[in-house]
A and B are shown apart, each in its own frame.
Chain A
Amino acid sequence: MNQNIYQPINGEIVDIIEESPTIKSFVVVPDDSFRFETGQFVELTLPGEGEAPFTPSSSPSVTDKMEITIMKAGRVTALLHECGKGQKVGIRGPYGNGYPIDDFAGKEVYIVGGGVGLAPIRSLFLTLVERINDFKKVVCRFGARTPEDFIYKSTVFDSWQKIKGVEMKLTVDNADGDWSGNVGVVTTICKKEDVDVNKAVAVICGPPIMMKFATLRVLEFGFKPRDIYLSMEKNMSCGFGKCGHCMIGRYYCCKDGPVFTYEQIKDYPNIWD
């Protein structure tokens, strides 16, 4: 008997972290062992209600639980936000291709992230930090609408900044009284002199409009399209290239992505929509 590809494994929400007014992280413990690679995604089911795709925000090296950071954006995510500890969930996956970390070795990793797009980036960042000496440096350029909207505040504002080999700058679109950092969209803290494009890869994840302009920005720096990695968000439903909803041109975002190089998808229409 084959395994039913539509059957999730059971799991439970054991902790919930309020990240921002619209974003929470859910710590999920699967009943069975569950391994993923950073950048891959899972389908999280709220039984009887619905299912949605998320890239775990925790490190793949933690195998007994995973964190999934979720912005309240639609019907299923709104229902998830109402859940408490002990809620039973279903998990399918992991699906697709994550970040090719081994290909990043020996290079500078230039990461541009915004909003809830920091979720996949957190998983990547934690993975990079576990073997930080393999990379020339990790440059982070993160943005949020306001300081309050930053997720992972305790680490982004503090401990991550102190890691040797990490160069981090933050920005917000709109500042309040306590903010002493940069104000402006994330591309305003992306400077060509901070990275050696010939020995670097760029990783971009965030809202579609941010991804578009960040991609254009790093192209201006001289990054080659094949060295720009994008974590794409499409309507991934089945997770294995059959149901058709997430197609980007000839690619299934779920199966061939969700991490694509810009080279792969740049010629298809409406990739940012």
Chain B
Amino acid sequence: MERVFTSELKPLLDAIARSMDLYVPVKSGDHYVYTKYDRSDATEVQLNNIRACTPVKEFLFPLRELAAVFPEPGDPEDVKAFAVLGLKDCDVRSLEILDKVFLEPEFLDEFYQQRREKMFIISTDCADPAGSCCCTLFGGGPYSENGFDINISQIDSGFVIEAASDRAKEIIEKNKRLFSEVIQQVLDKRDAIRQQSRRQLEESNAEYELGAAVNEVIEKNQDSDVFDVESQSCVECQACTRVCPTCHCFYLYDAKQKDYFGKMKMWDSCMRVGYAAVAGGANPRKVLGERIKHRLLHKFSYFLDRYGVDMCVGCGRCIDADSHKMDIRKVLKKLSEEVKV
């Protein structure tokens, strides 16, 4: 890990953007969304204090993509290197989860793999987490220690830059005139900000601590009426699954194009009523409460069982997005208060 200091971010971002497309978070209303970085724009990029509204999976597993072409297979897409600024630790961890699914050697998704290899990750510390942020409940925190190419920690006087990958170290080396050494006071300041953020997260989530393993809370309370009670206020908007950085269900469908037949791959949602239905009419999860339960079991029990990690990073996007303010923390807490844990 190479560590340097800079008082200005723009020259570094310009340097990165000279070699690849760079996407940066910009404020849109109360949220951040990604837009392509424009070097000619003189204004300094403002780092996002929390994760962007949209999930990082969009860069690797787009909402809709052409997955196969008939009758002659198409040429593989030539993916160019690209960089994304402002991933938070929750985002970085979400990629590790998606990797387990799409980079499984037996059935490796080459579309995902190509983009993943070409993606340059610039993560940033969370200086001021939001009320919906709950990473500390799910094994994360307000800064990343690995999984990035470059990590940026903002302090009053500038930015601590950590370069983890060879690609990142090369960029730092090529542009070393932009940087100075990191002095201990600066590191102490960074660590103080990090600790403050962690405390803030722990305090705002203290009431949701479960006192038991999440998987056990759900597995042992499958008969609970909590799922049906929650379903009464759910309007099935499916936003929770769309914004979730780890939800990866998709739907394959075939389409006639002008001079070829295409097989398309599109995001899907397990909250949709017909999601598991078969042509003969059977549907194992007709009831909404069953779908809510299945989603939580998948996230915290089935995925853990198969891949050794939870399929949730505590980013809180589903809490912000839900039309009816269903809060995954409250659902888990209610379940944990049932008798059977």
Residue ranges of A at the interface with B (Cβ–Cβ < 8 Å): 1-8, 10, 45-52, 71, 73-77, 88, 90, 207-208, 233-235, 237-238, 240-250, 269-273
B101 pairs with A51, CB closer than 8 A: no
B263 pairs with A51, CB closer than 8 A: yes
Shortest C-beta distance, B33 to chain A (Å), equals 26
User: Does B305 belong to the interface (CB within 8 Å)?
Assistant: yes
A90 pairs with B249, CB closer than 8 A: no
Kindly supply a per-residue 1/0 record for chain B positions 143-158, scoring 1 wherever the CB is within 8 Å of any chain A CB and 0 otherwise. 0000000000000000
Majority-rule SS of B interface residues: mixed
B286 pairs with A238, CB closer than 8 A: no
Give A49 to B252 CA distance when docked, in angstroms.
Answer: 11
B108 pairs with A2, CB closer than 8 A: yes
Give A245 to B285 CA distance when docked, in angstroms.
Answer: 11
Chain A residues within 8 Å of B253, by CB: 50-51
Shortest C-beta distance, A264 to chain B (Å), equals 13
User: What interface size band does chain B fall in?
Assistant: 35 or more
Give how many A-B residue pairs fall within 8 Å (CB-CB): 134
B109 pairs with A5, CB closer than 8 A: yes
B254 pairs with A50, CB closer than 8 A: yes
A242 pairs with B113, CB closer than 8 A: no
A242 pairs with B279, CB closer than 8 A: no
Shortest C-beta distance, A206 to chain B (Å), equals 11
Majority-rule SS of A interface residues: loop
A237 with B251: in contact, given A5-B109, A250-B306 (CB under 8 Å)?
yes
Shortest C-beta distance, B288 to chain A (Å), equals 14
B302 pairs with A247, CB closer than 8 A: yes
A48 pairs with B284, CB closer than 8 A: no
Nearest opposing residue in chain B for A209, CB measure: B282
A4 pairs with B73, CB closer than 8 A: yes
Give A235 to B281 CA distance when docked, in angstroms.
Answer: 11
Give A50 to B264 CA distance when docked, in angstroms.
Answer: 10
**What would 11 more interface pairs be, CB under 8 Å, given A5-B107, A74-B279?**
A48-B261, A50-B254, A88-B71, A235-B278, A237-B251, A242-B101, A242-B102, A250-B305, A269-B290, A270-B290, A272-B282
A233 pairs with B278, CB closer than 8 A: yes
Shortest C-beta distance, B279 to chain A (Å), equals 3
Nearest opposing residue in chain A for B286, CB measure: A273
User: Does B275 belong to the interface (CB within 8 Å)?
Assistant: yes
Q: Which of A5, A244, A272 contacts B270 (CB 8 A)?
A: A244
Nearest opposing residue in chain A for B257, CB measure: A48
A235 with B110: in contact, given A50-B253, A273-B286 (CB under 8 Å)?
no
Chain B residues within 8 Å of A1, by CB: 76, 110
Chain A residues within 8 Å of B101, by CB: 242
- 6 nearest CB pairs, A to B: A74-B279, A48-B256, A240-B107, A6-B67, A47-B261, A244-B249
Give A52 to B253 CA distance when docked, in angstroms.
Answer: 10
Q: Which of B110, B222, B262, B280 contacts A2 (CB 8 A)?
A: B110
Shortest C-beta distance, A156 to chain B (Å), equals 22
